[in-house]
Amino acid sequence: MSVFNGYDRDQIYEEMDGPSKGSSSKAFNIISKTLSVALLLSLGFASGSLYSTYQKNNNYNERTSTTPVISTSTNNNASTPYTLSHTDISSVVEKCANSVVEITIETQNTIYGYYTYKAEGNGSGVIITNDGYILTNNHVIKGASKITVTLRDGTQYEAKLIGKDSKTDIAIIKIDAKNLTPASLGNSDSLVVGEVAIAIGNPLGQLGGTVTDGIISALEREIKLDNSTMNLIQTNAAINPGNSGGGLFNANGDLIGVVVAKSSGFDIEGLGFAIPINDVKNVINDLLEHGYATNRAFLGVSLKDTSYTTNNGGMSMFSMFMQSVNYGAAVDSVVEGSPAEKAGIQKDDIIVSVDNEVVSSSSDVTSKISSYSVGDKVTIGLIRGNKTMNVEVTLAEYKGE
């Protein structure tokens, strides 16, 4: 026997079908009460739905009522670490795809000192303001004589370089455009391994607007790129050449990283990396205001790794004691007017220590110098020919290339 709102459902049917007027009247009263209860429940559900909708719209209006120059997400929590449906992914793409652009560069190259030719490179970028400031990798625009930006709708603009920082591999360029769709900057500190990651970029330099999805595979991966060690986000979203400078987004459509590299090889797939957006935020304002990242200690040398051969016993009968030692970094060039030049450091010197700590590579030297502040005095241990020496260097502020 089933019961409906306190009444015996079979009893209701029986009284409704009964022949007597009294029974019909009684059935009518029961039906009226039942319909009244149902109506009240319906009104309750409707009110709840309207209130929920109001709250959602109110929260959205609060987030978007004031648009900053650079839009930053107010959601500081990690996005849902579950796989999104195709519908969910399409809604994320709808929100942020217009923020990602294609970048093409031209470079002027000279060989043998007189023959000049043009070369072309490609990458991606992310719009960060509605009036045309675009975030990308420094290595994407490095050496460019011309930078062309293509929006998602196919419109092309010539861009100018605003600022760049080789340490974080970040650059900002600008196009003369209005009413663009800037990305909302998320919070990479709140990421968790396993949550959704969506990459949008220009793989192979020909497939602009390509969307791939995956998860956050790991956080704070120490990866060495161009003699510099970086702490990166690892993802298994498909990354290819040309994706560099593009966006890595979370399930809310917030920018959580700037794609920087993929690990490649015959049997390597699913290893992509991005610069955490919180690391990028730290230099964006500097690049916008100064064109370079401020308060960076600067030595003023270009270095290359070397396997230094030391002679422990002279040039003749003791030559048997010649041995290869894997430490030090060779000075490839010295910046004119730099702290290194003022201290007497020369091309082909081997830097073997920084403040009496042995260095084994060029990245070692770079890492140690970056740990100092502008104005610090540092003792650099050198080998020049068969002589060892120490020089004291007062570090200056790096002001870009």
Domain coverage including residue 145? 69-290
Dist. CA 171–CA 169, nearest whole Å? 7
Q: What is the pTM of this model?
A: 0.66
Residues 336 and 282 in one domain: no
Looking at residues 207-232, what average pLDDT do you find?
A: 85
Residues 79 and 57 in one domain: no
Residues 86 and 221 in one domain: yes
Residues 162 and 190 in one domain: yes
* 238: CATH: 2.40.10.120
Give the least confident one: 17-31, 150-164, 339-353.
17-31
Q: Which residues are catalytic?
A: 139, 169, 244
pLDDT in tens, 363-387: 788 888 888 999 999 999 999 988 9
Dist. CA 263–CA 30, nearest whole Å? 73
Residues 141 and 84 in one domain: yes
Other beta carbons less than 10 A from residue 6's beta carbon: 8
Residues 125 and 267 in one domain: yes
Which band of pLDDT confidence, cut at 50, 70 and 90, is reported for residue 316? very low
| Count: domains in the chain | 3
Residue ending a domain, choose from 17, 34, 62: 62
Residues 262 and 119 in one domain: yes
Residue ending a domain, choose from 42, 62, 82: 62
* pLDDT value of position 205: 81
Residue ending a domain, choose from 290, 307, 337: 290
Residues 225 and 100 in one domain: yes
* 346: CATH: 2.30.42.10
Taken in order 396, 359, 401, 276, the sign of the CA dihedral is negative
* pLDDT value of position 51: 42
* pLDDT value of position 44: 47
Residues 26 and 141 in one domain: no
